Amino acid sequence: MINHEFTITGSSTAFFRLAMHLRAQGHEIQILPINPADDPMRARYVEQGIAINETADLTAFDLAIANTICSAGPVIRIAPHLPTIWFINEAEVALRILLENTALLQAFALPAAIIYNMPFQHDVFRSFTYQLDPGKFHTASFGVDIDPVLIARDKVPAKVRATRVVQVGTIERRKRPGDFVRAVARSGLDIEAIICGKFIEMDEEAQRLVQDNPQTYRLLEGLSDGEVLAWVESADMFCLASDSETQSLSAYEAALLSKPMILSDLPCYRDVFVHGRNCLMFPPRHVDLLALSMTMYAGNPSLREEMGRNARQTAARYSNAAFFARFDAIMTSVVGRP
């Protein structure tokens, strides 16, 4: 299993869960990391006794499974010699990488199977794949299950303001944390705004708002999965202001916790999360409409209950069992046996 990195992201978390499933099925697993840095996900593999090596003798394996667009290089080197399944978990981000490194485009032709998270990704990469066998391209949405025992409620203090809103995701440009911060400021609400995620970058205006209003904003890094879930469970509303996503696991987790969600209107949510049916949506980067959505929820408890209930019913369709069954079927088609 070719792992892109050991940081905690949705794709790295789902890849770890897949490794646990495959081992439970009796398969022998080895992790080949692209970035071997000692980040938190490495410890999870070590705790489970899964081997991590920086080189591999391909003749010792029956199958390679590569994760994310970042593994395009290893796919090109490995797929001609070993049946390979390539997960592509990105959309616009992957396009930029491919167009800046056009030699990577040959990676689409080499794997036995390519798996996208969501249907819209087939269209994103169509210009690179239209001449290839359509039977090698699949959709397998990641599963999202929550074990209530893992929710670390004792780690989360009671809210001190009238409304608590939580965003979960790496604090970087694609997640638009600055838009979230500005929307909170413009909403005029008595609000407590929490962002759970590793800090990489945020624009200066938003950073000043955070620094000048510590009673309103909290940026929380290095939390366990249980702590993140507890913060989301404690919220009056969940927000994800991203301008690019494929399948945001944090949104599905919030939905499973019956949280009323505010999501940017992106192709990845098409036919899953729908404005007015199971969430509220706003155009990406439109801070004023994001602020207005917060205000609508804050003043309407019945709307929050309705959207949260409907979101849970939707997210329940995306279970780990469903994902594993789909992956097992694809793997069987590639290796030719159960």
* Three-state secondary-structure class, residue 190: coil
Residue 206, pLDDT score: 97
Residue 338, pLDDT score: 47
Asked if 105 and 241 sit in the same domain, the reply is: no
CA distance 120 to 117: 9
Asked if 159 and 306 sit in the same domain, the reply is: yes
Asked if 97 and 230 sit in the same domain, the reply is: no
Asked if 153 and 56 sit in the same domain, the reply is: no
Asked if 226 and 288 sit in the same domain, the reply is: yes
Domain residues for the domain of 39 are 2-143+319-335
Asked if 159 and 303 sit in the same domain, the reply is: yes
CA 111 from chain centre, in angstroms, equals 23
Residue 93, pLDDT score: 87
Q: What is the CATH number of the domain that holds 133?
A: 3.40.50.2000
The answer to whether 191 and 184 are in contact (CB under 8 A) is yes
Any residues with CB less than 8 A from the CB of 260 and at least 6 apart, and which? Answer: 236, 237, 238, 279, 280, 297, 303, 304, 305, 307, 308, 311
Strand ranges (E), the chain: 2-3, 30-33, 51-52, 64-67, 84-88, 113-116, 137-139, 163-168, 191-196, 217-220, 237-240, 261-264, 280-282
Residue 9, pLDDT score: 80
The answer to whether 31 and 64 are in contact (CB under 8 A) is no
How many H helices and E strands in the chain?
A: 13, 13
In DSSP terms, 166 is beta-bridged to 194, 238
Helix (H) or strand (E) holding 270: none
Residue 337, pLDDT score: 56
- Burial class from Cβ neighbours inside 10 Å (0-12, 13-18, 19+) for residue 296 reads middle
pLDDT averaged per 10 residues, the chain (length 338): 87 92 95 88 93 91 96 96 95 91 96 96 95 95 92 95 96 95 97 94 96 96 92 98 92 97 96 97 97 97 98 95 95 82
How crowded is residue 126: how many other Cβ atoms within 10 Å of its Cβ? 10
Asked if 88 and 185 sit in the same domain, the reply is: no
Number of structural domains, the chain? 2
